[in-house]
Structure 1
Amino acid sequence: MITLTQRLFNLGAALVLSTVSTAQAQSTNLKFTLDWALEGPSAPYFLALDRGYFSREGLNVSIDRGFGSGDAINKIAGGTYDLGFGDINAMMEFNARNPAQKLVAVYMVYNAPPHAIVVLKSSGIKTPKDLEGKTIAAPVGDASRRLFPAFAEANGIDATKVKWVSVDGALREPMLARKQADAISGFTFTSLLNLKQIGVAADELTIFPYAASVRGLYGNAVITRADFAQKNPGVVKGFLAAVNAGLKDTIKDPGAGIAAVQKRNGLMNVALETERLRLALGGSVLTSDVKALGLGSVRPDRLKSSINTVKQAFDLPVTLSPTSVFNASYLPPAAERKAPALK
């Protein structure tokens, strides 16, 4: 005979199971692509995953490595991924040439672009102009390679006099070290530390950062399809709330972020990736604009300047509007986006 207490216990258990079942049924599956390999700078996304920030928003998120911003953008536009981390400048070029597949940036991560050209001092290349007649190695989808026309224009380089060699990302820095290429393009913190890992010290290198000569550029952002965001505003807002929380936690505790990446990449050099993460956070994320405006946002006047620079560099057929490039309506409240100090 079942007592009243047992009946109440069974009823409570059934309600709990029903609630869990309903939550699982309502969970939204999302696919997110990084721009590159599982390295230090990918820490915020994996930390957000491990700390349950995505699940708290009702999201079941899978995160895959990338193969360059160009590749990530094509995969998001084609529907293989719902959202991704990619170069906003490459996204602008894509939108101008593919208006029917419009993408939109919804959270700016690299407020200062980390794009750069890296050469050995022994090459004799002392100024960007000296790249004429030289060979630059990079993956086809590398964001810095795709944005080279803007760098060339800003520095008076005849881009037709520069030869590009397409290589796998793992071969880029070794090619420079072996002097099989005169220069490479890539993110500063990526190439600098990859070269360090194979025995090339920073004082043996000359780095030409795009930010030093190209006006107003932004870097990588969270990107999605415009139609996906319009149809799923709550999903995008929830995703960004989780990313924002993961980024803040990583800034406050880079070691925790690195541990989250290491769970997925057990062969990584922890000390090196910690240094790479700190360079990315200190140089590209925590800028003066971010300290004033908060994480994730852009300055409209600067974005407009960036759009004009990209239009001229790529000879784009249309002029994009700032609101079509970046949609701030999905961002978490400003109070939640205040940047903590880097620990």
Structure 2
Amino acid sequence: MLRQVKFFLNSFFSGPQAPFFLADDNGHFERNGLEVHFTEGESLAYSVPVLAAGSYDVAYGDMNTLIEMKSVDPDSSPLAVWAMHNRSPYTIAIDADGLVATPADLKGRKLVSHPEDAAWKLFPEFCAATGLDISTVSVEASDLGHDEMVPLMREGRWEGIFGFVNTVRAHTIEAGLDPDRVLRHLEFRHYLPELYGGAVMVTRDFAQKNPEAVRGLLAAINLGLKDAIADPDAAIAAVARRNPRIDVKANRARLLGTLALEMADPEGGRIGIGDADDARILAGANLITKAKGLSRVPKPSEVFDRQFLPPFGERVTSLAERP
């Protein structure tokens, strides 16, 4: 009998989640004794408190939000067990023809963000790292899609958009625009290199009661990632089976962009996709607690538990850019 696993995602079914779906379609979960049920979410940041609330076993969430949670409540439930992004995926997308070129140019500007966007939640850290006075920037919360935001930004309504680099790029394609022509990016990875991005997380209770299920889950995801790298078209087909409304071209670009950018830190060649560096987690925790005025820096072991990872020799190292 297969163990039922409830998995809360970061957004609607989309290209960067393809390794999860391909792991399912190719039987990797089933061979590890699991039947995984996916639920669409709202953002990487939002997934963390949802998992902490206890209705799900697993979530795809933001490591930085988890660090903040552990600073305030060290006994909170979620644990990161598989780091998908070894580079921060976050950005402030700007008009390629606009007046903003550096973080300092954001002074006095108006930006826009989805209400739960993880990039916006990390804006205090971005400002602390760049010397920007956060009080000089206004941010409007909007439920519009990035495909609507980008044209409106170019018309002058805003001068920057919070989001994922590859999410904004994909939605710009959906808007009928060339992201390489109309957008530039203030990428958080350049200013906040210590920060990670998305990670697979489990509840402490699920990990304690079902350690072999967690190992099986990560083994399957690892194989799903390998499958997605080998055949991106099959990966996007797995997404489209769950969300037939997706723009296949844009989501294929989004998947390939994620593999080439957000999962390509040289660290991946040293420790493999899935693992995280304790010194880097601690550096990120120090930055986050200072920027947000929190009193306690959580230990890396409170945030990330690597005991469930596949062996190093089985992890993906081929995505890493060479220094």
TM-score band w.r.t. shorter chain: over 0.9
Partner of 1:50: 25
The answer as to whether partners of 2:268 and 2:319 remain within 8 angstroms in 1 is no
Aligned CA distance change for structure 1 residues 177 and 30 (closer, same or farther; 3 Å)? farther
Equivalent-residue separation in structure 2 for 1:269 and 1:204 (angstroms):
20
The CA deviation at 1:238 is 1.1
Partner of 1:256: 234
The CA deviation at 1:340 is 4.5
Q: TM-score, normalised on structure 1?
A: 0.88
SS of the residue corresponding to residue 263 of structure 1 reads helix
Unpaired segments of 5 or more residues in structure 2?
none
The CA deviation at 1:174 is 4.7
Judging by fraction of residues, say which structure has more helix. Answer: 1
Partner of 2:188: 210
Deviates more, 1:76-85 or 1:162-171: 162-171
Equivalent-residue separation in structure 1 for 2:236 and 2:185 (angstroms):
26
The CA deviation at 1:252 is 1.5
Superposed CA deviations along residues 209-233 of structure 1, whole A, max 9, x for unmatched, are 0111114111111012223312221
Partner of 2:163: 186
Amino acid at match of 2:293: D
1:307 alignment partner, one of 285, 289, 312: 285
Equivalent-residue separation in structure 2 for 1:341 and 1:212 (angstroms):
19
Amino acid at match of 2:65: A
Partner of 2:306: 328
Correspondences of 1:1-343 after superposition (within 5 Å): 24=1, 27-168=2-143, 170=145, 171-201=148-178, 202-340=180-318
Aligned CA distance change for structure 1 residues 169 and 248 (closer, same or farther; 3 Å)? farther
SS of the residue corresponding to residue 129 of structure 1 reads helix
The CA deviation at 1:79 is 1.2
The CA deviation at 1:129 is 1.4
The answer as to whether partners of 2:83 and 2:275 remain within 8 angstroms in 1 is yes
Count of residue correspondences: 317
- Point out the structure with max Rg over C-alpha: 1
Equivalent-residue separation in structure 2 for 1:325 and 1:175 (angstroms):
39
Q: Percent of counterpart pairs with the same letter?
A: 33
Equivalent-residue separation in structure 1 for 2:73 and 2:141 (angstroms):
24
Equivalent-residue separation in structure 1 for 2:42 and 2:76 (angstroms):
21
Aligned CA distance change for structure 1 residues 268 and 45 (closer, same or farther; 3 Å)? same
SS of the residue corresponding to residue 116 of structure 1 reads strand
Aligned-CA RMSD value: 1.7
The CA deviation at 1:261 is 0.4
Equivalent-residue separation in structure 2 for 1:85 and 1:91 (angstroms):
11
Equivalent-residue separation in structure 1 for 2:132 and 2:88 (angstroms):
20
The answer as to whether partners of 1:117 and 1:183 remain within 8 angstroms in 2 is yes
Aligned CA distance change for structure 1 residues 341 and 119 (closer, same or farther; 3 Å)? closer
The answer as to whether partners of 1:251 and 1:341 remain within 8 angstroms in 2 is no
The answer as to whether partners of 1:116 and 1:209 remain within 8 angstroms in 2 is yes
Amino acid at match of 1:269: D
Which runs of structure 1 show a deviation greater than 4 angstroms over 4 or more consecutive aligned residues? none
Amino acid at match of 2:48: I
Equivalent-residue separation in structure 1 for 2:248 and 2:317 (angstroms):
25
The answer as to whether partners of 2:93 and 2:186 remain within 8 angstroms in 1 is yes
SS of the residue corresponding to residue 31 of structure 1 reads strand
The CA deviation at 1:240 is 0.8
Amino acid at match of 2:94: V
Equivalent-residue separation in structure 2 for 1:46 and 1:173 (angstroms):
29
Unpaired segments of 5 or more residues in structure 1?
1-23
The CA deviation at 1:332 is 1.1
Q: TM-score, normalised on structure 2?
A: 0.93
Equivalent-residue separation in structure 2 for 1:255 and 1:234 (angstroms):
31
